[in-house]
Each structure stands twice: as structure tokens, then as C-alpha cells.
Structure 1
Amino acid sequence: MHLAQKTRDPVQITAVALKAYARVAEAWGLGLREAAALADMSESTWKRARKPGFAGELTKDQLLRLSAVIGIYKSLELYFAEPLARGWFTRPNSGPLFGGSRPVDTAIEGGLPQILAIRTYLDALRGGA
């Protein structure tokens, strides 16, 4: 059987996404409230979800959010040196998407469209566009 023919296990995908997202949230120093809101979860769900063995399911929106946030993290790590890469998301930013607010706050407020816009913005910077 080819790898492409294997079905993806949603439980495994969720576990990997949550583990990676938890590492990003920790690296950025996000508090419980910020990490939960960014993932579009209640604080109690985020507390359970970040522990190994979480048996809950995530919505497609939540999985897309986690994927996009992980992509933002990767872009920052590639584009900026330390400590800017780790602090960029939580520092006020005068860029066109942020208007002096912290990117994390605009991402929480704007939801998935803003998270995707931030990812696109960073990818454009990284690509030299």
C-alpha cells in the first residue's frame, strides 16, 4: 500500500497538532486565556487538550487555526533571529495588519481570517514579496 493510500487517523492528527501548538504557545509565553482563545477553545478544554491522551475532537476550524499558528511560528523562526522570533507575536506592532496592537490580540479578535492574514503576511516577508 502506498503512503498516499493510507487513511489519516484523525486522533493522531489531533494529538500531533495539539502537541505542536502547545509548544508554540509555551515558546511565545502565551497564558492559558490567550492560548485557549487563539485556538478557539474554552480554557477548560485547552487545559484538557494540552495533556497527552486527550480524547476530544477538534473542529476543522480549530485544526486550521492550529496549523496556521504553527505556520506563523515557523515563519518567524526562519525570518527573524532570537529573541525577536519568539517575541514578535506578543509585542505591539505598527504593521498594516496590527495598527499598534499585538499580533496575538488581533488574531484572537479577528479569528481565523486574521490568523490566515498574518500567516500570509509573514510568508510574503519571508519570500521577499
Structure 2
Amino acid sequence: MNLAYAYPVSRFEPARVIDLNTREARERLSASALKGFFKLARAWSLRDEDACILLGGLSSSAFYEWKKKPARVLEVDRITRISYLIGIYKALHILYGDDLADRWVNLPNRNAVFAGKTPLAYMQEGGILAMQMVRKLLDARRGGL
């Protein structure tokens, strides 16, 4: 079967995939990723302990050092986590007003995914896969999937 005719030709160029396994890509993205994460942490009123868990179990001393001197190269895992969280932040601000968008992660949620927990607790317990699920859920709500 010839699938060439299955989809219309798009006038848009496909998005370039960024290879986070290259140090160059991580060097380019790390500073802005951390800046965005710390802005998100303030907006969501995250305790430092909660932020450390979202970053994959970062120690408190490392977290405070990162806040003081964010110029560093992050690992693939941490950039991926931050990317999901920033996507969640953006989706929330598209779906809800600023106040609710920033409180949403701290509110108990009856959606079956969360089972009455807060989205923050769900993401802390489930790590990257839970962040991915929350991102997909919000993207679907806004019609992105």
C-alpha cells in the first residue's frame, strides 16, 4: 500500500528534533531551562523540597547552588523534566486565568489520573512519566492532541 497519499502535503517544515544527548544542545538550553524552572517554582509557590523532588531528587545544597549560579550544563533527565513542567505551565495559562493556572498543581483533583491527589503530588510520585501524562492531559484539554 502506498502511504504517500494518506496525508496531504504540509506547507510547514517539520520541527527540528533537538538531540539532548549532545553537550552543545544542553549547553545552549540549560540556562534558560533553569531560569524558566525557577520562575515556574515561584508562580506555583513550590517549597524548595518540592522543587528538588520535581528535578529528580536534587539535594538541597545543589538546589541552592543552582539558584545562586544557574550557569551550568544540565543532564538530559533534568532538561526533560523541566521541559515537561514548562509545557504544563504554558498549557495551564492557556486553559485558565493566571490565578487558577498557578494554583492548579496544588489543588486536589478528581480526574481519574490523579485519584484525588494534587497534580504536584502525582508528578512527584511518578516522575517523568507522570509529568508526561499531565502534559498530555492538558494538551488534550486545550485541543492540542
TM-score after normalising by structure 1: 0.86
Q: 1:53 to 1:94 in 2, by over 3 A?
A: closer
Structure-1 residue corresponding to 2:67? 50
Greater mean deviation of Cα atoms: 17-26 or 36-45: 36-45
Deviation at 1:52, TM superposition (A): 3.7
Deviation at 1:59, TM superposition (A): 1.8
Fraction of identical pairs, as percent: 34
Residues 31-72 of structure 1: CA distance to partner in whole angstroms, max 9, x if unpaired? 1000111011222222111234433x3221111000000000
User: Runs (4+) of structure 1 moved beyond 6 Å?
Assistant: none
Deviation at 1:10, TM superposition (A): 2.8
Q: CA RMSD in A?
A: 1.9
* Distance (Å, rounded) in 2 between the aligned partners of 1:94 and 1:33: 25
Given candidates 50, 53, 56, the residue that maps to 1:34 is: 50
Greater mean deviation of Cα atoms: 57-66 or 115-124: 57-66
Given candidates 136, 140, 143, the residue that maps to 1:120 is: 136
| Runs of at least 5 residues in structure 1 that lack an aligned partner in the other structure | none
Deviation at 1:82, TM superposition (A): 3.0
C-alpha contact (below 8 Å) 2:88/2:138 kept by paired residues: yes
TM-score after normalising by structure 2: 0.78
User: Larger helix proportion, structure 1 or 2?
Assistant: 1
Given candidates 58, 75, 85, the residue that maps to 1:59 is: 75
Given candidates 104, 107, 118, the residue that maps to 2:123 is: 107
